[in-house]
C-alpha cells in the first residue's frame, strides 16, 4: 500500500517536473524543476532497493551537477532572458517522441520479455548492499573506475583551459 | 486504536517526529539565548537580562517580534523562488535531525516505543551518506535566496556563500572517510557501537581496529563544519560590515527567522554528526562497569536546581523571582525523576549525547566570540590548499595503517 | 495492491521522462536549458538501468548507473565551460545565434 502511494507520488512529481522544465520561461525555474525530478527519482531508487545509488544521485547529481547549472544560470542570466521561438521543425520532433513512448509501452505490454517483467521480480526483495556493490566496483569494474577518474581529471583540465582569460 | 496496532512503525514514527520537532524548535530558540549570553560573558558584559529572569524569555520575545514584523517583498524579486528559499533551507536543516540516534536502539539502555526503538527516528544502513545528501542540498537555500532577491549585495553574498559551502563540503566528506574506514560501516548505530568502552575507545583516540587516532580528521571536520554552516571565522558572506547582510538582506520577519533557524539547525546537525563519528555518540566516557555514573544526570539537574534556588532567593524583582522559582521546580523535579534507578539507567544515552553536543556548540560560540573573520580569498585558499590536502592525507594514512598493521603484527 | 510495484511501470515512467527530455531538447532555445534536457534524458536512462537491475537481481546495473552519473558530471563541467565562453563571445544564449563555425 505505502510503496504504491509513494510510487504514484514520485512518478507524478517527476513527470510534473519534466513538464515544468519544458514550460517554464526562466531557466532558473527549469533548473529547479530538474532538481525536483532528480529528487523524485532518488526516492524511486530507494523503492527499487538501491539506497547507495539513491544517495549518490542526490549528493552528486542534485547536489553538485545541478549546483553547477544553477551557478552558470545565475552568472550568465543576469539580464539575458530566454525567448522561446516556436520552430516548425519542433512539431515532427514532438510527434516522434510521443511515437517512441507509445512503442515502448506497447512492447512492454505485448512482448514475452515485457510481460515477464511486468509480473515483478521473481527473487524476494532484498536491498542492494553497499559492500557488494563496492566489491564489484573494485574487482570486475576496476578498469572503468580508474578510467573515469582520469576522465574527471581531463574534464577539470578542460574546464580550466576553457575558462582561462587571455592574458 | 486498531490503526495503532496495525501500523506500529508509522504511528511510532509520527510520535517521535512530533516530539523531536518540538524539542528541536525549543533547542533552536534557546541556542540563540545561550549564544548571546556566552558571547556577552566572554566580552565582560551580561547579555539579555531583563526580558525574563536572566533573559530566559528573550527567545520568546524575539519569536513574537519576528512574527509581527512587516513582511516586505522586493517588487522585482522572483516571487516563487524568493518564497521557496527560506522554506527549503529550514526543511533541509530539520530533516537531517531525523537520522540521528540520540540513544541506543538495541541492547542495554534502549527504550521500545510500540515495538520500535525510541531514541532514533530511523535506523538506515547508509545513514551517513543520507545525511551528506541532505547537507549537500543545503547549498540551494542560500544560492536561490541570493539570486531571487534581485539586488547586488544578496547576489554577491549568495554566490560567495554557496561557493564556500560546496568547497568545504568536499573536505567535510573526506575527513569523515577515515572514520568509515576504521569502523567499516556507514550506519550510525554501528559506528557508535564500535566505539564502546571508555573514552579512550572513541574514534578520536582509539587504535582498536588497527587504524590511527582520528584527531586530524576531527579537527578538519570541525573546521570544515564551521565553514559549511557559515559561522565566524568563515562568515564573510553574511557579515554586516562587508555585504550588508549577505544573502538574507532582502528578507524580513518570518522568512528571515526561517534562515536564522536554518543556520542553527545546521549547527546542531553538524555537532550531532561530530559527536557520533568522533566522540562516541551516546556512549559515556567512563567504563560501563562504573554504575555510579547512572546518577550523574540526576545529580547534574539537582545541582542546576540548587543554583536556580540560590538565584531565586538572591533576586530582587518579583516577576523574575517567580520565573526562577518555576525553573528551580522544573529542574528539581527532573533531577528527582532522573534519580529513580529505572529512569537513570535508560536516560544515560540521551544525557551523554546532549552533553557532548552542548560542548561542541559551546566551542562554536566561543569561536564566534574570539576570532576575526577570514577574507574571501583567504577563505577559499584555506579550504582548497590546506584543508582538502590535510583530510586526504588523513585518509591515506588511515588506510595505510589499516593495511599494514596486520602485516606488522604477524611478523 | 500488495507486493512490489511491477517493473514495467518503472520502464514506462523512464520512457515518458525520456520522451519529455527529447521534447524539451527540440523545443527550447536557451543553451543551458537544452543542456538540462540532456541531463533529464540521462536520468530517465538511469531509472531504466536501476529497474532492470532489480528485475534481474544483478548489481551490474547499479554499477552502470554509477558510471553514468560520473560521466554526466564530467560532461556537465566541460559543457558549461563551453557555454560560458559562447555567451561571452556572442552576448546571447540563444541556440539560433550560434550558427557560424567561426566565433
Same-domain check for residues A64 and A94: no
Q: How near does any CA of chain A get to the CA of B25, in Å?
A: 26
Average pLDDT over every residue of A134-152 = 93
Phi, psi of C98 (to 5 degrees): -90, 75
Q: Residue B162 in contact with residue B142, Cβ under 8 Å?
A: yes
C22-56, pLDDT tens digit by residue?
888 888 888 899 999 999 999 999 999 999 888 88
CB contact under 8 A, A70 and B143: yes
Number of C-beta neighbours around residue A41 at 10 A: 30
Whether residue B53 is predicted with pLDDT greater than 90 in this model: the reply is no
d(C-alpha B83, C-alpha B253), whole Å: 12
**pLDDT number for residue B173:** 92
A12-38, pLDDT tens digit by residue?
999 999 999 988 888 889 999 999 999
Same-domain check for residues A9 and A66: yes
Residues of B with CB under 8 A from a CB of A: 78, 80-81, 84, 124-126, 129-130, 132-134, 136-137, 139-140, 143-144, 147, 155, 159, 162-163, 166, 186
Torsion angle in degrees (nearest 10) through CA of B145, B147, B148, B152: 110
C2 confidence band (pLDDT: 50, 70, 90): very low
Contacts of B among chains (3+ CB pairs under 8 A)? A
Number of C-beta neighbours around residue A166 at 10 A: 3
Average pLDDT over every residue of B26-38 = 92
Same-domain check for residues A76 and A14: yes
A85 confidence band (pLDDT: 50, 70, 90): low
Average pLDDT over every residue of A52-65 = 94
B276-316, pLDDT tens digit by residue?
999 988 888 888 788 888 888 888 888 888 888 888 888 77
Contacts of C among chains (3+ CB pairs under 8 A)? A
Host domain of residue A17? 1-84
**pLDDT number for residue A144:** 93
Same-domain check for residues A89 and A78: no
Burial degree of B392 (CB within 10 A; 0-12, 13-18, 19+)? middle
Higher pLDDT, B111 or A69: A69
Q: Residue C70 in contact with residue C5, Cβ under 8 Å?
A: no
Whether residue A124 lies inside any domain: the answer is no
Spell out which residues of chain A touch residue C79, defining contact as CB-CB under 8 Å: none
CB contact under 8 A, A155 and C13: no
Whether residue B314 lies inside any domain: the answer is no
Whether residue A117 is predicted with pLDDT greater than 80 in this model: the reply is no
Residue carrying the nine cell digits 515502448: A104
Number of domains into which chain B is organized: 1
Whether residue B305 lies inside any domain: the answer is no
**pLDDT number for residue B365:** 93
Query: What is the ipTM for the molecules in this complex?
Result: 0.91
Which triple of cell numbers denotes residue A73? 544560470
Host domain of residue B391? 2-283+340-409
Smallest Cβ–Cβ distance between A62 and the set B125, B137, B163 belongs to: B137
| CATH 3.40.50.10540 corresponds to the domain C29-95 | no
Whether residue A163 lies inside any domain: the answer is yes
Handedness of CA A67, A68, A73, A74 (dihedral sign): positive
Helix (H) or strand (E) holding B11: helix B8-42
Burial degree of A106 (CB within 10 A; 0-12, 13-18, 19+)? exposed
A118 confidence band (pLDDT: 50, 70, 90): low
Whether residue A101 lies inside any domain: the answer is yes
Whether residue A3 lies inside any domain: the answer is yes
**pLDDT number for residue C1:** 41
A123 confidence band (pLDDT: 50, 70, 90): low
Average pLDDT over every residue of B74-100 = 87
Q: Residue A22 in contact with residue C28, Cβ under 8 Å?
A: yes
Q: Which of A115-129, A134-148, B27-41, B131-145 has the lowest mean pLDDT?
A: A115-129
Spell out which residues of chain A touch residue B81, defining contact as CB-CB under 8 Å: 28-29, 32
Number of domains into which chain A is organized: 3
Residues 80-119 of A with CB under 8 A from C: 80, 82-85, 87, 89-90, 93-94, 96-98, 100-101, 104-105, 108-109, 114, 117-119
Same-domain check for residues A63 and A137: no
Whether residue A79 is predicted with pLDDT greater than 60 in this model: the reply is no
d(C-alpha B364, C-alpha B368), whole Å: 6
Phi, psi of A73 (to 5 degrees): -65, -40
d(C-alpha A69, C-alpha A79), whole Å: 17
- State the average pLDDT for chain C: 87
Spell out which residues of chain A touch residue B125, defining contact as CB-CB under 8 Å: 51, 127, 129-130
Question: In chain C, what percentage of residues exceed pLDDT 70?
Answer: 94
Average pLDDT over every residue of C7-17 = 89
Spell out which residues of chain A touch residue B140, defining contact as CB-CB under 8 Å: 35, 67, 70
Average pLDDT over every residue of B191-198 = 85
Whether residue A100 lies inside any domain: the answer is yes
Whether residue B161 lies inside any domain: the answer is yes
**Residue in B302, B328, B303 with CA at minimum distance from that of residue B314:** B328
Smallest Cβ–Cβ distance between A55 and the set B81, B129, B147 belongs to: B129
Spell out which residues of chain C touch residue A77, defining contact as CB-CB under 8 Å: 93
Amino acid at each position: 500500500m505505502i510503496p504504491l502511494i509513494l510510487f504514484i507520488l514520485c512518478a507524478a512529481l517527476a513527470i510534473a517536473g519534466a513538464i515544468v522544465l519544458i514550460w517554464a520561461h526562466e531557466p532558473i525555474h527549469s533548473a529547479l524543476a530538474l532538481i525536483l525530478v532528480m529528487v523524485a527519482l532518488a526516492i524511486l531508487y530507494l523503492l527499487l532497493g538501491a539506497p547507495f545509488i539513491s544517495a549518490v544521485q542526490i549528493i552528486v547529481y542534485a547536489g553538485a551537477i545541478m549546483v553547477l547549472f544553477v551557478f552558470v544560470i545565475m552568472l550568465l542570466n543576469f539580464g539575458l532572458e530566454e525567448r522561446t521561438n516556436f520552430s516548425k521543425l519542433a512539431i515532427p520532433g514532438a510527434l516522434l517522441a510521443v511515437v517512441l513512448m507509445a512503442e515502448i509501452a506497447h512492447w512492454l505490454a505485448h512482448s514475452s520479455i515485457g510481460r515477464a517483467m511486468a509480473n515483478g521480480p521473481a527473487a524476494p526483495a532484498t536491498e542492494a548492499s553497499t559492500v557488494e556493490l563496492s566489491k564489484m566496483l573494485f574487482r570486475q569494474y576496476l578498469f572503468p573506475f580508474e578510467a573515469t577518474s582520469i576522465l574527471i581529471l581531463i574534464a577539470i583540465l578542460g574546464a580550466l583551459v576553457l575558462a582561462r582569460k587571455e592574458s | 486504536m486498531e490503526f495503532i496496532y496495525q501500523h506500529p512503525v508509522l504511528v511510532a514514527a509520527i510520535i517521535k517526529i512530533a516530539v523531536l520537532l518540538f524539542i528541536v524548535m525549543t533547542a533552536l530558540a534557546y541556542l540563540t539565548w545561550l549564544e548571546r549570553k556566552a558571547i556577552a560573558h566572554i566580552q565582560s558584559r551580561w547579555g539579555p537580562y531583563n526580558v525574563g529572569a536572566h533573559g530566559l524569555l528573550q527567545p520568546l520575545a524575539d519569536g513574537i517580534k519576528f512574527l509581527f514584523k512587516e513582511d516586505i517583498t522586493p517588487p522585482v524579486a522572483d516571487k516563487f523562488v524568493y518564497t521557496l528559499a527560506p522554506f527549503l533551507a529550514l526543511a533541509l536543516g530539520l530533516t537531517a535531525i531525523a537520522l540521528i540516534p540520540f540513544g541506543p536502539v538495541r541492547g542495554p539502555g534502549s527504550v521500545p516505543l510500540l515495538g520500535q526503538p525510541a531514541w532514533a527516528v530511523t535506523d538506515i544502513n547508509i545513514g551517513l551518506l543520507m545525511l551528506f545528501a541532505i547537507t549537500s542540498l543545503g547549498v540551494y537555500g542560500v544560492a536561490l535566496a541570493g539570486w531571487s532577491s534581485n539586488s547586488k549585495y544578496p547576489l554577491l553574498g549568495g554566490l560567495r556563500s554557496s561557493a564556500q559551502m560546496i568547497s568545504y563540503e568536499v573536505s567535510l566528506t573526506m575527513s569523515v572517510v577515515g572514520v568509515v574506514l576504521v569502523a567499516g560501516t556507514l550506519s550510525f548505530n554501528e559506528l557508535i557501537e564500535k566505539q564502546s568502552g571508555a573514552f579512550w575507545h572513541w574514534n578520536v583516540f582509539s587504535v582498536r581496529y588497527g587504524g590511527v587516532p582520528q584527531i586530524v580528521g576531527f579537527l578538519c571536520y570541525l573546521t570544515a563544519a564551521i565553514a559549511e554552516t557559515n559561522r565566524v571565522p568563515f562568515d564573510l558572506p553574511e557579515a554586516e560590515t562587508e555585504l550588508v547582510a549577505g544573502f538574507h538582506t532582502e528578507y524580513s520577519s518570518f522568512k528571515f527567522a526561517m534562515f536564522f533557524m536554518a543556520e542553527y539547525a545546521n549547527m546542531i546537525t553538524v555537532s550531532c554528526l561530530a559527536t557520533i563519528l568522533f566522540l562516541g555518540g551516546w556512549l559515556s566516557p567512563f567504563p560501563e562497569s562504573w554504575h555510579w555514573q547512572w546518577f550523574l544526570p540526576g545529580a547534574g539537574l539537582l545541582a542546576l536546581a540548587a543554583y536556580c534556588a540560590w538565584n531565586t532567593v538572591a533576586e530582587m524583582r518579583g516577576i523574575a523571582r517567580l520565573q526562577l522559582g518555576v525553573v528551580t521546580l522544573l529542574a528539581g523535579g527532573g533531577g528527582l525523576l532522573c534519580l529513580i534507578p529505572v529512569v537513570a539507567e535508560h536516560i544515560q544515552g540521551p544525557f551523554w549525547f546532549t552533553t557532548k553536543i552542548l560542548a561542541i556548540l559551546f566551542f562554536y560560540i566561543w569561536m564566534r566570540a574570539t576570532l576575526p573573520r577570514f577574507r574571501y580569498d583567504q577563505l577559499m585558499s584555506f579550504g582548497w590548499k590546506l584543508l582538502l590536502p590535510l583530510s586526504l592525507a588523513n585518509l591515506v594514512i588511515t588506510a595505510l595503517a589499516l593495511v599494514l598493521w596486520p602485516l606488522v603484527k604477524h611478523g | 495492491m500488495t507486493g512490489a510495484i511491477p517493473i514495467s511501470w518503472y520502464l514506462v515512467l523512464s520512457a515518458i521522462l525520456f520522451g519529455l527530455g527529447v521534447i524539451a531538447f527540440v523545443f527550447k532555445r536557451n543553451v543551458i536549458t537544452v543542456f538540462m534536457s540532456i541531463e533529464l534524458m540521462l536520468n530517465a536512462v538511469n531509472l531504466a538501468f536501476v529497474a532492470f537491475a532489480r528485475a534481474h537481481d544483478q548489481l551490474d546495473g547499479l554499477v552502470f548507473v554509477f558510471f553514468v552519473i560520473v560521466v554526466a558530471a564530467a560532461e556537465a563541467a566541460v559543457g558549461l565551460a563551453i557555454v560560458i565562453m559562447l555567451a561571452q563571445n556572442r552576448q546571447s544564449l540563444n541556440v539560433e545565434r550560434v550558427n557560424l563555425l567561426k566565433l
